[in-house]
Amino acid sequence: MELLDLSFFTSAIRMITPILLAALGGALCARVGIFNVGLEGLILAGAFSAIVGNYFSGNVLVAVLVGALGSVLVSLLFGMAAIRFKANPIVAGIAINFLVLGLTTFGLRAIFNVKGAFYDKNMEGLPKLDIPVIEGIPVVGNLLSGHSPLVYIAFLAAIVLYIFFYRTVTGFRVLAVGKNEAAARSLGLKVTLLQYGAIVVCGILCGLAGAQLSLGQVTMFTEGMTAGRGFIALVAMMLGQSHPIGIVGSSLLFGLMDALSIRLQGFSMPTQFTAMLPYIITIIAMFFLKDRGADSQLSGQQSSR
């Protein structure tokens, strides 16, 4: 078996999709001054709601929308705690992770009456999208075509977010809120409204990330199926300094390392060591993060004060 072949890259692209989507959502929150540690919970909420939507409607599009809606509701709860009630965002984010873990497991029992995982063979997963022209090109076609629509949406979202931040008026104001909230308020900008807007969009993006998880490869939901992806998204967000293109880069790095770690398992290395690879590479990458963006100050760690 070759170490790096085409399927390696296609699997990397699939793997980064939920991380990229969630990291973009997190970046949006960071840009309005809210450090969102609750991404893990938001993705999980999306994954679960998507399965619920799928089971009851039998329609994939409805499922994705319900996934987004579920995540938005949780996101609003987080926003309310952090903005309206001025709770410490880090604490509120941790709480959201826990709450959603409990709620989804509870939901599995209450709605589907199962424990651990829910699977129904009648449920339909996300379709694979073949892109007409690109599909025909050798190599590139295999690499870029035939993914679920959410994969394309993820990359599209990064571009849209980039244009939003750096070309539109509202995006400009969002950046302003994150850079200096007091100044933004004194100018009469609708800071709270922008913050809630960011929270809602973050919910949508995380909902899509969750839908990709539960409907993308295999159509099922398992307890705690996010398995730390929300935290990885948080790292990708910080590594990418909350810049959409930077986040694409850091997500790609993580996705490649993840795909590589799976591939390396074929090379008689203990699986534990190969599985460590993405985390260790990410830590090393953080050493090179010299010019740390405004978002890193939000975490309130000693070094950033």
Q: Which H or E run includes 63? A: helix 60-79
222 beta partners: 117
CB of 173 vs another protein, minimal distance in Å: 7
- Give the position of tokens 């980064």: 16
- Give the position of tokens 């892109």: 131
Which of 29, 235, 247, 259 binds another protein (CB under 8 A)? It is 235
196 closest CA partner among 93, 86, 97, 76: 76
DSSP string, 85-109: S---HHHHHHHHHHHHHHHHHHHII
CB of 73 vs another protein, minimal distance in Å: 14
41 closest CA partner among 86, 129, 132, 102: 102
Please give the residues from 251 up to 280 whose contact with another protein meets the rule CB under 8 A.
270, 272-273, 275-276, 279-280
Residue 116 found at the interface with another protein (CB under 8 A): no
Q: Burial, 16: exposed, middle or buried (Cβ in 10 Å; 0-12, 13-18, 19+)?
A: buried
Residue number, 121 or 290, with CB nearest to another protein: 290
CA–CA separation, 249 vs 142, rounded Å?
A: 21
Which of 62, 131, 134, 189 binds another protein (CB under 8 A)? It is 189
Which of 145, 219, 242, 282 binds another protein (CB under 8 A)? It is 282
Compute the chain's Rg from CA coordinates.
19
Cβ atoms of 207 and 258 within 8 Å: the answer is: no
257 closest CA partner among 226, 279, 278: 278
CB of 292 vs another protein, minimal distance in Å: 7
Residue 185 found at the interface with another protein (CB under 8 A): yes
Which of 14, 31, 173, 263 binds another protein (CB under 8 A)? It is 173
Residue 112 DSSP label: I
Which of these segments, 23-31, 42-50, 174-182, 245-253, binds another protein (CB under 8 A)? 174-182
Residue 305 found at the interface with another protein (CB under 8 A): yes
Residue number, 128 or 179, with CB nearest to another protein: 179
- Give the position of tokens 């599909």: 135
Binding string to another protein for residues 212 to 231, with x set by CB under 8 A, is what? ----------------x--x
Cβ atoms of 38 and 92 within 8 Å: the answer is: yes
Residue number, 92 or 213, with CB nearest to another protein: 92
Tokens coding 201: 């969009």
Which of these segments, 15-23, 124-132, 149-157, 297-305, binds another protein (CB under 8 A)? 297-305
Residue number, 149 or 293, with CB nearest to another protein: 293
> Coil, strand or helix: which one is 147?
strand
Side chain identity at residue 80, one-letter code? M
Which of these segments, 42-50, 63-71, 202-210, 292-300, binds another protein (CB under 8 A)? 292-300
Residues near another protein (CB under 8 A) are 77-78, 81, 85-88, 90-92, 94-103, 105-106, 109-110, 167-173, 176, 179-180, 182-183, 185-189, 228, 231, 234-235, 238, 270, 272-273, 275-276, 279-280, 282-283, 286-287, 289, 292, 296, 299-305
